[in-house]
Structure 1
Amino acid sequence: MSADLDARTPPSRYGAQRVHRDAIAVALGSVINAVLGVAFWAFAARFVVPAELGVMTAVLSVITAVGSVIAAGVGDAYTAVLPAVGRARPAVFRRGLRLSALLSVVAGVTSGLIVVASLTEVRADYAVAALIAVGIVAWSAYGLQGSTLIAIGRANWAPPSNIAHGVVKIVVLPALCATIAWQSVPVAVVIASVGMVVVLRPAIKRLIDTSDGLPTTGTISEDQAMVEFRRVVTRTTALSGLNLGVLALTPFLVTLFAGPGEGARFALVFSIVATLDFIGASMAVSLAVHASGEPGSAAAMAKKLLARSGVVTVLGSIGAAAVVPVALYALNPAYDMGSTLEVVVILCAGSMIRLPYLVWAALRQSERRLRAPLVLSGATAILLFAMMPVCCAALGAVGAAWAILAHQAVLTAGAGIVFARNYFGDHGRGRGAVPRSSSRKKGN
């Protein structure tokens, strides 16, 4: 009888057996996104002069920074809570959608007005302000879909989604450059993002409403599901703002402090190298999902994912250093190879240094204990903002890369200190090799 029941029960979409499959799917989607992104930015570098491209990338960086903060804030709460709430999943999902929409509208209007008041090249251009507002709504909705797919065990949807998004951007960009020739880069990204939201959101809602292949019981009771989501989403949104949002905003800061030319160089390199960060971060999201659903296997999952993401990041860094400087110079001689290579190498080093922090933060997220990551991210965000004006004024794009490397190094060192203190403190109390974070105290 039990054998027949097991045969009728679909395999769980959470746990150690699926984390590596999902991580591979996410990594594959990231690689596809990187390849298509290189083609997109290559066209932009070839046909848009650096001064104009610098302004466009500054506008786009505000859209992606603010939109990513909202998407990651709600999305990380999804990955920590949706696997563990059972039948309360649809209610939690809809609460997240409403929160994301409200935040993106308010933040979009505010960000647009701030940009046209602070950036000389688009001062008082309220069409740009409107583009930023719409772009933030679109980008946050698109980004949230990615986290939602991982949270419901559909990470295998990521590669085709990324292919479609990347192809639409590449097709639309030349058409925009040949016709309206106004903010072509951010407009292309916004159009592609809106298209993917329109196509995928109905299917995602259907999967969640029907609990297709998802467990109907969880470690969080239905009565506590919404309370836990509200508690977690406050912390994940703050954490994404201090971490992801700060980094995504750096192309805008380089344009602001070093001028559009250096801003274009930095944005082109940053957009390519950031894919390496995204691979590690996406694998970490997968870890948070499956560690939340199966906490007993969290440590083993973390070790394997750290090793695999490390290999991918190292290989990607070598490839970026070999190809990007030569390619950008060939596309436009204004991007000299020496300075571009410096930016590539420094940013790649930062990506490698950041990996241990991402894994540690994912484990804390799966336990819904985010106080330590919040404190570290807040302190290092202050450090980065303090360094950017001085470094950009002195060394341009290269200086900005050094500021980011320092930010990443301090962030990972801080995570290492917290982990060591918890690990050895627990060991000294005779609790074995179990970090203090496993106690799951509320609020930490």
Structure 2
Amino acid sequence: MNSLAVVLASGCTGVLGLAFWAIAARLYPAAEVGVAAAMIFSATMLATLANLSLGAMYERFLPLAGRRAAPLLRRGYLAVVGLALVLACGLIAFGPRAALFHSRWELVTYPAFVAVLALFALLDNTVAGLGVARWGAAKNTVHGAVKLVGILALAGTGSALAITMSWGLTAAVAVIWVMVAIRRRVRYDDRYSAVPSLPPRRELWHYFGASYGISALASVAPLVVPLLVVTRIGPEASAYFAVTWSIVGAFYIVLSLLVSPFVAECAAHPDRIGSLSASFAKMIAAAALLGGLGLAFVAPIALGLIGTDYREAGTPLLHLAAFFMPLTVVGAVYVGLARVHRRLTLAVLTQCLVTVVVIGGTAMTTGTLGVRGVGVSYLVAEALAAVVLIGPLVRWLLELNTNSPARSVRLSTLVGGER
């Protein structure tokens, strides 16, 4: 139920996200769209860094937290907001301020924007850990629809600030709505007054460090790449990239969101890890293959509806993405299983490789290939990651299909924590 809700809502969110950028491209100057896109993408990635991998911790250990759930959530959210504000101010002080901010209001509101997006993202993992991932799916769908109203209402200004405000203010309302629902669930559900069954603190810190390594590394490339695009090939190219990448990014988001309910379900039901893993791998593969077909054949038509210049600039990137999207299956399934088994070292090292290849490749190729260089860089990075992870992943899946009572007991103990 939760996974199906996530898939359907992610599809709706992807369509609504494309509609958002399509409206922006039609009603706002391309240069303003490019600046707004760089602000939104950079804020999203800073928000990911600010999350401190607490999302991975919540989806994995909230099912075991018992009465410690409420204080863990409260302290975590406060830490995330504080770090988001610090990171945003750091970017303003040391980043490409002239390229990102064209007005004082954009600069002043940016830290609050990052903090809101940090909470917005963390809520998806939180509700997955609480067993109600469908709440996050509903949040994302409603936000996707309501921000369309905002961007239409503010179109008369023609400014980048109006685009970011349409995104940020509606996200803030969604955050308040879901946090109220979470507070009620934790307060009144009997599971969150029970005795905790968490693993030892040393193991929690190890998992935290590895998870943060993955999330931090995964957010560096999406933070740096839009900045490279806007500074190396200009704000108009940034607009073409933003609209095109909103389609590609929607499929990445679908895959990442599917991991959360899988990890939470395995933590809550360790005796079903084999069947859950098989279903998870099939669902990830189906989503990625359908995504590749959509990127190859449907997305270019959608870009054409926005504008000829967007289609001409973005279609080569979409075709490259259609090739590398199926390759992401290997990494997504491996990371999901690694979180369940709490063995994340190889996932961290592989993410480091992907980050270096994407950023280095983008820096070297965008000057000559334009936004197509981003697609080439991601294709090489995803292919390398698949080569590194395919062997360990196959061995893991074969082990899960081995019906050994001793293995079942060992996995149940490992996945479920201390009972």
Q: CA deviation at 1:33?
A: 0.8
Choose the corresponding residue for 1:149, options 127, 132, 143.
Answer: 127
Q: CA deviation at 1:148?
A: 0.7
Question: Structure 1 residues 214 and 309, CA, compared in 2 at 3 Å: closer, same or farther?
Answer: farther
Matches within 5 A, 1:321-400: 321-337=296-312, 339-400=313-374
Q: Unaligned regions of 5+ residues in structure 1, if any?
A: 1-20
Matches within 5 A, 1:270-309: 270-309=245-284
Matches within 5 A, 1:16-27: 21-27=1-7
Aligned to 2:326, the other structure's residue is in SS state helix
Question: Structure 1 residues 374 and 316, CA, compared in 2 at 3 Å: closer, same or farther?
Answer: closer
TM-score for both structures, normalised by structure 2: 0.88
Question: Structure 1 residues 423 and 348, CA, compared in 2 at 3 Å: closer, same or farther?
Answer: closer
Question: Structure 1 residues 69 and 431, CA, compared in 2 at 3 Å: closer, same or farther?
Answer: farther
Aligned to 2:308, the other structure's residue is in SS state coil
Question: Structure 1 residues 387 and 328, CA, compared in 2 at 3 Å: closer, same or farther?
Answer: same
Q: In 2, Cα distance between the equivalents of 1:336 and 1:424? A: 44
Question: Structure 1 residues 278 and 176, CA, compared in 2 at 3 Å: closer, same or farther?
Answer: same
Partner of 2:177: 199
Aligned to 1:373, the other structure's residue is in SS state helix
Can you list the C-alpha shifts for 1:270-300, whole angstroms capped at 9, x where unaligned? Answer: 1112111111111111111112223343233
Aligned residues: 412
Q: In 2, Cα distance between the equivalents of 1:89 and 1:265? A: 43
Choose the corresponding residue for 2:50, options 70, 77, 87.
Answer: 70
Higher alpha-carbon deviation: 108-117 or 81-90: 108-117
Question: Structure 1 residues 182 and 376, CA, compared in 2 at 3 Å: closer, same or farther?
Answer: closer
Are the counterparts in 1 of residues 28 and 158 from structure 2 also a CA contact under 8 Å?
Answer: no
Are the counterparts in 2 of residues 343 and 397 from structure 1 also a CA contact under 8 Å?
Answer: yes
Can you list the C-alpha shifts for 1:116-173, whole angstroms capped at 9, x where unaligned? Answer: 44x54647x5543333211110000111111111110111223331232112210111
Choose the corresponding residue for 1:319, options 276, 294, 315.
Answer: 294
Question: Structure 1 residues 294 and 217, CA, compared in 2 at 3 Å: closer, same or farther?
Answer: farther
Q: CA deviation at 1:390?
A: 1.0
Q: CA deviation at 1:230?
A: 4.3
Matches within 5 A, 1:44-193: 44-71=24-51, 73-117=53-97, 119-120=98-99, 122=101, 126-179=104-157, 181-193=159-171
Are the counterparts in 1 of residues 54 and 208 from structure 2 also a CA contact under 8 Å?
Answer: yes
| 1:236 and 2:211 aligned | yes
Can you list the C-alpha shifts for 1:167-201, whole angstroms capped at 9, x where unaligned? Answer: 22101112222147342222211111111112221
Q: CA deviation at 1:28?
A: 1.6
Aligned to 2:342, the other structure's residue is in SS state coil
Q: CA deviation at 1:245?
A: 4.1
Question: Structure 1 residues 229 and 142, CA, compared in 2 at 3 Å: closer, same or farther?
Answer: farther
Q: In 2, Cα distance between the equivalents of 1:432 and 1:385? A: 45
Q: CA deviation at 1:262?
A: 2.1
Matches within 5 A, 1:263-274: 263-274=238-249
Aligned to 1:220, the other structure's residue is in SS state coil
Are the counterparts in 2 of residues 57 and 267 from structure 1 also a CA contact under 8 Å?
Answer: yes
Q: Percent identity?
A: 21
Q: In 2, Cα distance between the equivalents of 1:306 and 1:426? A: 12
Q: CA deviation at 1:241?
A: 1.3
Q: In 2, Cα distance between the equivalents of 1:322 and 1:423? A: 32
Partner of 1:208: 186
Q: In 1, Cα distance between the equivalents of 2:79 and 2:386? A: 31
RMSD: 3.0
Are the counterparts in 1 of residues 41 and 222 from structure 2 also a CA contact under 8 Å?
Answer: no
Aligned to 2:327, the other structure's residue is in SS state helix
Aligned to 2:131, the other structure's residue is in SS state coil
Q: CA deviation at 1:424?
A: 9.3
Can you list the C-alpha shifts for 1:379-438, whole angstroms capped at 9, x where unaligned? Answer: 2212222111111111011111110111122222222244467789999xx99999x999
Question: Structure 1 residues 215 and 305, CA, compared in 2 at 3 Å: closer, same or farther?
Answer: farther
TM-score for both structures, normalised by structure 1: 0.83
Aligned to 1:393, the other structure's residue is in SS state helix
Q: In 2, Cα distance between the equivalents of 1:363 and 1:200? A: 28
Can you list the C-alpha shifts for 1:62-111, whole angstroms capped at 9, x where unaligned? Answer: 01111133347111111111112222222222232122122212112112
Can you list the C-alpha shifts for 1:200-237, whole angstroms capped at 9, x where unaligned? Answer: 2122122123335668355426xx4x665544333322
Are the counterparts in 2 of residues 81 and 228 from structure 1 also a CA contact under 8 Å?
Answer: no
Q: In 2, Cα distance between the equivalents of 1:433 and 1:349? A: 37
Higher alpha-carbon deviation: 256-265 or 206-215: 206-215
Q: In 2, Cα distance between the equivalents of 1:245 and 1:77? A: 20
Aligned to 1:356, the other structure's residue is in SS state helix
Aligned to 2:95, the other structure's residue is in SS state helix
Q: In 2, Cα distance between the equivalents of 1:151 and 1:296? A: 17
Are the counterparts in 1 of residues 38 and 100 from structure 2 also a CA contact under 8 Å?
Answer: no
Higher alpha-carbon deviation: 64-73 or 129-138: 64-73
